Structure 1
Amino acid sequence: MKKLYFFLLVCILISCKKEAPKPAPVTIKKAPAIILTDERTVDVDTAVLSTFKSETLKQFYASSQNKTVWGNLKKRQYVISQLEKSEELGLNPEDYKTSQLKKLENRISKLNDADLATYDILLTYNFEKYLEHLYKGKLDPKKLYTDWDLEEKTFDVNNVLIKAFNKNKLDSIVDNIQPKSITYKQLLKSLEIINSFPDEDIQTIESLKKITLNDTNNAVINIKKKLLFWKDMSGKDSLTNKYDQKTFEAVKKFQERHGLADDGVIGPGTISALNYSKERRKQQIIANLERWRWYPAEFAENYFIINIPDYSLKVVENQDTTLVRNIVVGTSKRKTPIITSVLKTVVFNPTWTVPPTILKEDVVPAMKRNRNYLAKKNITIYDTSGNVVDPHAWNENKPNNYRYVQSPGYNNSLGLMKILFPNHHSVYLHDTNHRNYFERSNRSLSSGCVRVENPLELAEHILDDPERFSKEKIDTIIASKKTMSFKITKKYALYQWYWTAWSKKNQLIFRADIYNLDSDLYARLRD
């Protein structure tokens, strides 16, 4: 038995070096007292507790006066069963030492006091880690990305766990702490759906040219296999190389599920989506579950929610979607940042000041080729004193010594309107002078800001004042070409987020991972 205790202690020390969370702040709340029952209890060695380097764990056992708490068989079985089922929620059971805990449970009657105390600590430590991961994610987005501006979620795990423990309501704790959003629940359903699919072994589809209805192409054979596998095509098929009407209709259904132009034309985007394997789609779902645990648990009463890869904006008021808009988002080189904020101001007839990145990468090279480049775009150059600078007097070696301002108007880069909200990335929502972009299925085309289709109707809706801001009054403001700003009096939160998978009516829905975040996130989750 001494050997077993020594082995367990070594395992703890090794795992703690790799996985132990950082010490919690000294201001951690004192946990409520733990009500112990008549089951066998033994003293917990505080030296063993210290090896975990967790203030939360110390506080937990301080609440039981450093005695073991998991003497009740049902409570232990609940913890272990929940850790085993963590896979159904997109987490990895072995992150919580599930196999090790099961082995100890099977030997519990033979454990001496020291081993029993160690087992008790392991149960607590791993269950609390699991609850933390469910509430706010396993990873910290601020450590992964520079353009994810989300407030850190705080979670008093001891308070939650001990209250459930004392009231014998452990069976509801896991459901209660998970996100309540519809999308998160749709993702859990997606994981359930994809796990119901059989194993897949279909060769990669290769085609150098577009395939249209009635074409003959050997790639069509594997395309049909994929469509049958994902149930976009029903029944059986002869698997010929002819792109027939039945396959055409199935392709359109597949394209719609993946946010592609559902025209039945099989091009690079459709081929790329078809070539995702079942396993890769499952990993994508798991990555999205993690993201949704990072987002705020509660939504405001009224809000804008933007899904960047879906190129969509929804206005939600009192749990009802009142407006939906197509949007254009940043390219992979100039990503639209992830932001939670509050809408503040509508600006009509905005001017546009050329930002540093566009100045460096676009304007300066173009000006060096043609000094009339800015004049054609109605952009005026100003020196540091605010004087207008003739384009031919512009010093190409010191481009940062100037401001470059585009006058208001229909062809302004920001269009006729912008909506401002506090953020650290100098981005906003706005109209555009490239209004034809909204007709495209791939709309990752901007320099980081979000461009909104039919923005004046959106402005009328959110300003919500028929006397001051009717359609006719807004048209008059626009016609004046004067820059005017108006405060948004109704409170709207802004959720500018990123997710590439969900489900709808028991169908899997996916979007292209335009910023290539999914695979890397999944790999980090399984480190």
Structure 2
Amino acid sequence: MNRPDLIRFPLLALAGLAAMPLSAQTPPPAVAPTMAPPTVQPIPAPPPPVPIPALSPAQEAWANGWLQTGAAQGLMARQRASAPLKGEALVNALLDRAKALGTGRVDSADFLEVWALRPAAIDPRPALAKAVSEDKLPAWASTLTPPWAGYETLRKGLAKYEAIRDRGGWPTLTASSAPDVVRARIALEDPAVTREEKLVDVIQRAQRRYGLEPTGQLGARTLEALNVGVDDRIAAIMANMERWRWMPRSLPVNRVQVNIAAAVLTVFEGDQPVTSMRAVTGSPTNQTPMLSSSIHSIVVNPPWNVPMSIANRELFPKGRAALARQGYKIIKTPEGGERIVQPAGPNSALGRLKFDFNNPFAVYLHDTPSRGKFSSYDRLASHGCIRLEKPVALAERMVAADPSLNGQIQTLIDAGKTQRVSLPSQVAVYLLYWTAFAGNNGTVSFRADPYGWDKLLAQKIEASSRRADPTAIASNSIASKD
């Protein structure tokens, strides 16, 4: 449960050997004159890049037209008409666009540390060379975007919001706005709105799309969501499309996915969602990282070894007597310091179950004795780990294939013993940050951007496009706005 923003990775430095005075050096051992010097194996040169045939005039025309679709893929906020490219400049632009669509516009070197989901590297040259030689450029281009429905529905949603922007956006609402104005505003995003529908139902549907409590009233939070500017909504869609580009082209059919922004965990079996539950994810000051890993074991009745960041900030200031009354133990460390441990039990911050997976942030899924947050619509409140609404049910699914463990999780908990249970097979886990997702009709649901990652990522996309893409517009973009 470490705070990700306090994690510091070790830095490896290579130190050169300093010159020493000859008098201080130990003489080298005598070497037999017959000993041959070591053979130095030359490092093989990398293979030459795959040559790409010259494009025909028809191929050049198609390629230049295709390069003008970058804004439609969320690679820039707006598109400008550029002079047709030819020869090497055109080939380089095609290769750059292929990499941007395949692994993201933003280079992973420019990621935040907590954006630990890294796309696999690709070399688009061989496929492009083959497409040119076989005159199949459109078919080649169709394979570049992520194969996920989540990406394609966002692409359709992006076109819808760009059209709204180009028509002038939407009006700002107030608590006293006329019902017809409110209905018309919501209808810009929701095609299901009709004049006959009760306004309370229209507002409730909008509130559900924004992840708000569906009261049917124009409260402060509902007005805030409705008054987010269309440019910011486009930025959110762009950011989420970029995150889809970071995802692998195939996912394990059995996996656990956590939407950090929505604080929801979903279990997939056979590549289909089979169950979901509410979660509590990291607060804005204790961000849950994006990452992928595999759950390898479950700790039953886990103690909590309190991270020093939390101990120093929140627990040690309470004083030893108060910590003792609350059941904490202060343990001496081998280095002469102290750390805090909360023993296993019903009041442990980790509850009765902890789901372990390897990651550099020391985050994990776990139970909690504090259940009140699960009934709230504001569930970003942890120190970075993910608290689960139904941990026992999740554990039972994960061990069901082991006859000795199937149906036994609660029995193990009731025994009160701390023990680690290895899973019959590891379960892939993805911690993701989805703040925009769309249905097949292009209606986009949004969540708040609690970590401020959407606008930052949209700015990085825009800046990267301006540096690398000759078809990107250099001004009047999201990146140039405050």
Q: Do both proteins adopt the same fold according to a TM-score greater than 0.5, normalized to the shorter chain?
A: yes
Does the residue aligned with 1:100 lie in a helix, a strand or coil?
Answer: coil
Query: Quick check: 1:442 aligned with 2:442?
Result: no
What is the match of residue 85 of structure 1?
A: 69
Query: Take 2:309 and 2:178, find their aligned partners in 1: how far apart are those partners?
Result: 42
Instruction: Provide the rounded CA distance (Å) in 1 between the counterparts of 2:278 and 2:116.
Output: 23
Alignment check: 8 A CA contact 2:116 2:291 kept? yes
Question: Which whole-Å deviations, capped at 9, do the CAs of 1:290-322 have from their partners, x for residues lacking one?
Answer: 121122222123211111112111111221222
Cα distance between partner residues in 1 of 2:389 and 2:402? 21
1:335: how far off? 0.1
In structure 2, relative to structure 1, the CA distance for the partners of 1:252 and 1:223 (3 Å cut) is same
- The answer to whether the aligner puts 1:383 opposite 2:311 as a matched pair is no
1:516 matched residue in structure 2: 452
Q: Is the 8 A contact 2:279 2:386 kept in 1?
A: yes
Of the candidates 349, 353, 371, which is equivalent to residue 417 of structure 1? 353
Contact 1:161 1:173 in 2 (8 A): yes
Residue 100 of structure 1 corresponds to 83
2:256 is equivalent to residue 278 of structure 1: no
Q: Distance in 2 between matches of 1:414 and 1:222?
A: 48
Given that 2:347 and 2:369 are in contact with CA atoms closer than 8 Å, whether structure 1 keeps it comes out as yes
Return the alpha-carbon distance in structure 1 between the equivalents of residues 169 and 111 of structure 2. Answer: 33
SS in structure 2 of the partner of residue 99 of structure 1: coil
Instruction: Give 1:522 deviation, angstroms.
Output: 1.4
Partners of 2:169 and 2:358 in 1: CA distance: 49
The Cα shift of 1:161 comes to: 0.8
Aligned letter for 2:413? I
Partner in structure 1 of residue 186 of structure 2: 227
Distance in 1 of aligned mates of 2:75 and 2:92:
16
For 1:326-378, what per-residue CA distance to the aligned partner results, in whole angstroms no more than 9, with x for missing partners?
A: 111000100001111111111110000111221122112222xxx43222332
2:369 maps to which residue?
Answer: 433
Counterpart in the other structure of 1:390: none
CA contact (8 A) 1:142 1:148 kept: no
Shift of 1:284: 1.3
Q: Which residue of 1 aligns with 2:167?
A: 199
CA contact (8 A) 1:179 1:293 kept: yes
**Aligned partners of 1:93, 1:513: CA distance in 2, in Å?**
19
Q: For residue 143 of structure 1, what is the amino acid of its counterpart?
A: D
- 1:478 is aligned, of 410, 413, 417, to 413
Letter aligned with residue 378 of structure 1: G
Deviation, structure 1 residue 226: 2.3
Gap change, CA 1:142 and 1:477, over 3 Å in 2: farther
**Is the aligned partner of 1:166 residue 2:115?**
no
- Whole-Å separation in 2 of the counterparts to 1:310 and 1:174: 33
Q: CA deviation at 1:233?
A: 7.5
User: For the residues of structure 2 that align with 1:385 and 1:509, how far apart are their CA atoms?
Assistant: 51
Per-residue CA shift, 1:447-506, capped at 9, x if unaligned? 0001111101100101124632243x2222111211110111223211111121121141
| Paired AA for residue 134 in structure 1 | L
* Larger helix percent: 1
The question of whether the paired residues in 1 share the 8 Å contact of 2:154 and 2:444 is answered with: no
Aligned to 1:50: none
Aligned-residue offset at 1:222: 5.6
Distance 1:199 1:377 in 2: 60
Contact 2:239 2:457 in 1 (8 A): yes
Once the two structures are superposed, residues 405-462 of structure 1 have per-residue CA deviations (whole angstroms, 9 ceiling, x without a partner) of 1111122100110110110001101011211211111110100001111101100101
Match in the other structure for 2:23:
none
| Residue in structure 2 matched with residue 21 of structure 1 by the alignment | none
Q: Distance in 2 between matches of 1:98 and 1:130?
A: 16
1:137-286 matches, cutoff 5 A: 137-197=104-164, 199-206=167-174, 217=176, 223-231=182-190, 234-236=193-195, 246-286=198-238
Offset of 1:225 from its aligned partner?
4.5
By relative contact order (CA 8 Å, sep 6+), the higher-ranking structure is 2
CA change 1:205–1:357 in 2 (3 A) is: farther
Secondary structure of the residue that 1:256 maps to in structure 2?
helix
Amino acid at match of 1:511: R
Offset at residue 182 of structure 1 (A): 2.2
The 3 A distance-change label for structure 1 pair 447 and 304 is: same
- Using the size of structure 2 for normalisation, the TM-score is 0.80
User: Which residue of 2 is the match for residue 121 of structure 1?
Assistant: 88
C-alpha contact (below 8 Å) 1:200/1:277 kept by paired residues: no
Sort the Cα spacing of 1:437 and 1:28 in 2 relative to 1 into closer, same or farther, 3 A.
Answer: farther
Measured at CA, do residues 320 and 341 of structure 1 come closer, stay the same or move farther in structure 2, by a change above 3 Å?
Answer: same
Task: State the TM-score, normalized to the length of structure 1.
Answer: 0.74
The counterpart of 1:73, out of the listed 24, 42, 57, is 57
Answer whether contact 2:295 2:426 (CA < 8 A) is retained.
Answer: yes
Q: Once the 2 structures are TM-superposed, how far is the Cα of residue 520 of structure 1 from its aligned partner?
A: 1.7
Pick one of 351, 356, 359 that aligns with 2:311: 359
Q: CA deviation at 1:144?
A: 2.9
Letter in 1 for 2:360: H
1-structure distance, mates of 2:148, 2:425: 23
Matches of 2:62 and 2:327 in 1, distance apart?
A: 68
1:374 and 2:323 are equivalent in the alignment: yes
Q: Distance in 1 between matches of 2:77 and 2:367?
A: 47
C-alpha separation between the residues in 2 aligned to 1:374 and 1:511? 38
Shift of 1:524: 2.2
Do 2:311 and 2:339's aligned partners in 1 also have CA atoms closer than 8 Å?
A: no
CA distance in structure 2 between the partners assigned to 1:230 and 1:169 by the alignment: 37
Q: 1:122 to 1:33 in 2, by over 3 A?
A: closer
Distance 1:304 1:33 in 2: 42
Q: Which structure 1 residue ranges, 5 or more long, are not aligned?
A: 1-25, 37-68, 105-118, 208-216, 238-244, 387-399
State how far apart, in whole Å, the 2-side matches of 1:493 and 1:452 are: 17
Shift of 1:230: 2.7
Query: Which of structure 1's runs of 4+ aligned residues deviate more than 6 A?
Result: none
Contact 2:296 2:425 (C-alpha < 8 Å) held by counterparts: no
The alpha-carbon distance between structure 1 residues 505 and 424, as it changes in their structure 2 partners (threshold 3 A), is same
Percent identity over paired residues? 28
Q: After superposition, what is the alpha-carbon deviation per residue over 1:378-400, rounded to whole angstroms, capped at 9, x for unaligned?
A: 211112369xxxxxxxxxxxxx9
Partner of 1:47: none
Letter in 1 for 2:324: A
* Alignment partners' CA distance in 1, 2:271 and 2:429: 15
Question: How far, CA to CA, are the matches of 1:403 and 1:250 in structure 2?
Answer: 53
Native 8 Å contact 2:131 2:137 kept in 1: yes
The offset of 1:232, in angstroms, is: 6.8
Q: Distance in 2 between matches of 1:331 and 1:144?
A: 20
Q: Give, in whole Å, the separation in 1 of the partners of 2:328 and 2:448.
A: 35
Amino acid paired to 2:307: P
Instruction: State the shift of 1:99 in Å.
Output: 0.6
Unaligned runs of 5+ in 2: 1-43, 464-482
Secondary structure of the structure 2 residue equivalent to 1:139: coil
The root-mean-square deviation of aligned C-alpha atoms, in Å, is 2.5
* Cα distance in structure 2, aligned partners of 1:166 and 1:336: 47
